[in-house]
Amino acid sequence: MDQFYIDLFNIIVYTQPYFFLLLFHSQIKLSLKLFEMIGGATLALVAVTGWSIGHYNNNVLIGYIAMVMVTTYFYRGMGSGKAICLGFLLVFINSYFYEFPIHVVDFLSNWNFGLQIIQGLHIVPLPLLIYVAGNDFTYPKRSRLIDLILVSFIATLGVTWVRFTFIRHFDELNYLLQHINRWFCLGVLTKIFNVTKTMGT
């Protein structure tokens, strides 16, 4: 694929969180049913065609779309607009959150500042989301928050150790464990961002 389209796709991926942050408290009406129809059709199209772009292979794209849709459904009680925004925001943040221990180990091993800066862009929307969301969430107490984060980090390190020690040559099983861990850490994020109040859709 032409490098221009790969670069354009990367720009869209890394800038879309800020669009959804701006949209979070907007009065624009978004249809959750229409979003689910478009999301389902996109998921099916990507799965059937095997489409990939750059370093986003087909498995990653399928997982990303599915996680956005599931997370959106989870927050549907907040209203369709906020639910859709949170679907994209939390999945984007989770791309760094679930890999954080790996990045720490890689940094201590290679002192690769460039890669860490690029990967760290995934976490930039987090404080902005906390600021924008205001009282829409109730956050766990500090001890509970630390427990949740530690559990996710331990799971990541454990899964990574198993993947690279025992099944590094089994691609399908490797991807499966990686996706299970990604889903688990996304679940931890939804525990951290507990809904305080619900609003009509």
Higher local confidence (pLDDT), 116 or 7: 7
Residue 199 has pLDDT above 50, yes or no: no
Q: Is 31 helix (H, G, I), strand (E, B) or coil?
A: coil
Q: What is the pLDDT of residue 194?
A: 83
Tens digits of residue pLDDT in 15-51: 999 999 999 988 788 899 999 999 999 999 999 999 9
Q: What is the pLDDT of residue 63?
A: 93
Q: Do 149 and 188 meet the contact criterion of CB atoms below 8 Å apart?
A: yes
Alpha-carbon separation of residue 193 from 24, 78, 88, 126, 188 (angstroms): 15, 12, 14, 11, 9
Domain spans of the chain, in order of start: 3-195
Nearest C-alpha neighbor of 132 from the set 22, 5, 51: 22
Residues in the chain: 201
Q: What is the pLDDT of residue 32?
A: 93
Alpha-carbon separation of residue 13 from 47, 48, 165 (angstroms): 19, 22, 32
Higher local confidence (pLDDT), 117 or 95: 95
Q: For residue 33, with 0-12 CB atoms within 10 Å meaning exposed, 13-18 middle and 19 or more buried, which class applies?
A: exposed
Q: What is the pLDDT of residue 103?
A: 73
Residue 198 has pLDDT above 50, yes or no: no
Q: How does residue 167 score in pLDDT terms, banded at 50, 70 and 90?
A: confident
CA of residue 114 relative to chain centroid, distance: 21
Read off the pLDDT of each residue in 42-67 and give the average, rounded to a whole number: 94
Alpha-carbon separation of residue 95 from 134, 136, 138, 150, 182 (angstroms): 23, 23, 23, 17, 8
Nearest C-alpha neighbor of 10 from the set 58, 44, 48, 54: 54
Q: Among 32-36, 63-67, 170-174, which is the least confidently predicted range?
A: 170-174
Residue 201 has pLDDT above 50, yes or no: no
186/200 Cα distance (integer angstroms):
24
Tens digits of residue pLDDT in 114-151: 666 777 778 888 888 888 876 788 888 888 888 888 88
pTM: 0.85
Q: Is 98 helix (H, G, I), strand (E, B) or coil?
A: coil
Query: What's at 66, amino acid-wise?
Result: A
Mean per-residue pLDDT of the chain = 85
Q: What is the pLDDT of residue 116?
A: 66
**Helix or strand (DSSP H, E) at 85:** helix 80-97
